[in-house]
Amino acid sequence: MKPFILAALGASLTVSGALADQFGVATYYHNPNHGGLIAAHLTLPFGTHVRVYNLDNGRNVVVTIVDRGPHAAIDRIIDVSTVAADVLGMRQAGVARVRLELVQ
């Protein structure tokens, strides 16, 4: 039982440590199967809550990972829903420089 607990703890520390330093570009998308404050990320588990900071205007929002993506360019690290893009103030531009932070 102890090895399993230690492995799970190590995995959570790795995810949060890596995510705290994750900077890149966010884009937005529409998901007809999910609404609200959702996002797509390539590696984070579904159901993970992430705070996305728009580095250009200081706005932020907490989203839930429900999809995989983005699949476009190397510097794009997250796709947020159109609702989240509106909160972040990035919908008109289509992209924003962001920082991601895992929400505990």
Q: What is the mean pLDDT of residues 21-42?
A: 93
User: Residues 6 or more apart from 65 whose CB is under 8 A from it?
Assistant: 38, 39, 40, 41, 44, 45, 46, 47, 48, 49, 50
pLDDT reading at 26 higher than 90: yes
Least confident of 8-12, 66-70, 84-88, 100-104: 8-12
With tokens 């794009």, the residue in question is: 76
Average pLDDT over residues 53-71: 97
> Is the pLDDT assigned to residue 36 strictly greater than 80?
yes
* Domain parsing of the chain, residue ranges: 2-102
* CATH of the structural domain 2-102, one choice from 3.40.50.10210, 2.40.40.10, 3.40.50.300, 1.10.490.10: 2.40.40.10
Nearest CA among 92, 85, 99, 100 for reference residue 48: 100
Confidence label for 72 from pLDDT (cuts 50, 70 and 90): confident
